[in-house]
Amino acid sequence: MHFLDQAKIYTRSGGGGPGAVSFRREMYVEYGGPDGGNGGKGGDIIFEAVAGLNTLIDFRYTQHFKAPRGGHGMGQNRNGASGKDLVIKVPIGTQVIADDEDRDTVLLDLTQAGQRVVFMEGGMGGRGNASYKTSTNRAPRQHQPGIAPVEQWVWLRLKLLADVGLVGMPNAGKSTFINKLSNAKAKVGDYAFTTLRPQLGVVMHKHREFVVADIPGLIAGAAEGAGVGDRFLGHIERCRVLVHLIDISNADPVDAMHIVEEELEAYSEELSDKPRLVALNKCDLVDDALAADYAKMLLKAGADEVFPISGATGRGMSKLLDAIIDYLPAATVTERPQGAQEELDEKPWSPI
């Protein structure tokens, strides 16, 4: 399924039905009087967050959403039928944004499964002439046409809900990392930008379950559109902790760390302030002494703690996962058969 995280749609609530002008006409009934019913209420536009969706691709082909209008009133004091509400189902984590110049006005933020929000209310139905009858106005002919519908173009923007976000330069080993820890099937290749869209994986560690998001790699100038730009950084804005993967075979790991840090800061101050764990990846390609030297360099450059790991073999991953779950809220223990979970290599590896 093609991944799409932004879409523009047109929404219009249902207009209220007009009230009726009618008079009772029956044989042997003198002075029948007014009996025009009220119009029905128009349908609402409702957004609902549903589980099982992770893309907005459906909105590329269906862009207009119009709720039905209310039925018109009729004689014999019959009110018009109300228009049926139109429910727009979107993935969890979808934001509804006003179609203004900056596109920064968030109208709705749907973050929980089953969350339903009335975005536009349908118009109220108009009054029929029966409702205008008074002791001094026995044969009213006035009525109301019903409240007009509300319409608006809006943008839908999907921000994936994940606990942990993976950041790093291209070829840092993020796809291999998430494939090792979860059942994600991220593409792996020996060239830059093998990941072109975010990937999600569910990780189980010490009976704690959490979601990891892998986004395309960042390069210098991503904030200005270099590479795939910074458009996917929005998918890790909700993460509780970021894991910064650095390729130990990079000519200058310290420079690689600074490049990503600068791009995070250029995107938003909130994102740059999130707690980060630095993982020195591909340590299976070098000896422990070199890994220790690089780790000390990263610590001097500003890293709080460095975790030497190997995404290919899993070595050193357990210690990193222990640090990750310290940032996560208490989770429900998941019942699994004994030995059902594949254990990562627990062999001590502490070159720092």
Binding site, annotated residues: 168-175, 193-197, 214-217, 281-284, 310-312
- The pairing of strands 208-214 and 199-205 is antiparallel
Residue whose structure tokens are 């707690």 = 275
Token pair recorded at residue 259: 């490049």
Q: How many whole angstroms separate alpha carbon 205 and alpha carbon 210?
A: 9
User: Buried b vs exposed e over 266-283: b needs ≥16 C-beta within 10 Å?
Assistant: bbeeebeebebbbbbbbb
Please list the residues that pair with 8 across neighbouring strands: 155
Token pair recorded at residue 291: 């890994």
Binding positions for GTP are: 168-175, 193-197, 214-217, 281-284, 310-312
* ∠ Cα 315 317 323 (to 5°): 150
- The pairing of strands 6-12 and 151-158 is antiparallel
Burial class of residue 166 in the structure, from the number of CB atoms within 10 Å of its CB (0-12 exposed, 13-18 middle, 19+ buried):
buried
* ∠ Cα 48 330 200 (to 5°): 50
Binding positions for Mg(2+) are: 175, 195
**Cα torsion through 190, 191, 197, 198, rounded to 10:** 50
Q: How many whole angstroms separate alpha carbon 78 and alpha carbon 326?
A: 64
